[in-house]
Amino acid sequence: MGEYVLDSFFHTSWCTKPPESIRNKHKLDFLMDINAKYHHTIVVPDIQYKNKGYYKHISIINKNKVHHYSQQRLIQYQHWNEAEFFSNDTSRLIKLPFTFKTNELRYGVVFGFEAHFDEIWMELKRANIDVVLVPTASTFSSQARWEALLTTHAFTNSCFVVRANRIGKIKANDGMEWDFYGHSFVSLGQDILDSLKEEEGMLCLDIDKQALDSLKQLWGFRE
């Protein structure tokens, strides 16, 4: 699931009047029910309110438990300044994001903005992560740049990258209409194996461990 899907999209007005909806403590309940019924691991970005602060997390729901990964680097541009609002600790050196293992594959989660920092990919490589899940809220016709960024890291780190991007249009912080264009995809190395278009949808793909092992052996970037 992409960023700002479970919650409304970030707006600078939150700094003075945050919407009540982002304080909802039960927003994950229906996803917990899905996990309990179908035994799927669910990865979803969400906003948590605690200790009088708001935090950007990725919640990982697995085996009736919820684990939270707190974003380590926040956007702080004039037209989109999350660092001004959220209470995430961004002062420390980047550490390994949350990881988990299922079906003999190691997964890691990374927020879209964090994917620009080489340090985070180095941590994932050291942990021998096989699949990196990257939820994003990308706009401004940036599709080609994001594909280049993530497929390059998938290649140099010999891994799968699964990018889930938000869709829809909003009137944003600068008063302009922003178009979140979707185009979620799965990449093994530089090859995009499958993708969605700009409509809402579900992408199903088998993670081929043999193909992954062949990529690692061919280029030797994991040695």
* pLDDT tens for each residue of 1-41: 999 999 999 988 898 899 999 999 899 999 999 999 999 99
The answer to whether the CB of 196 falls within 8 A of the CB of 183 is yes
CATH topology of domain 12-219: Nitrilase/N-carbamoyl-D-aminoacid amidohydrolase (3.60.110)
pTM: 0.96
pLDDT digits (tens, 9 = 90+) for 166-179: 999 998 877 889 99
| The pLDDT of residue 192 | 98
Residue 75 has pLDDT above 80, yes or no: yes
For residue 136, the model assigns a pLDDT of 98
What is the average per-residue pLDDT within 107-122?
98
Give the separation between CA 10 and CA 156, rounded to whole angstroms.
32
Strands 105-109 and 131-136 turn out to be parallel
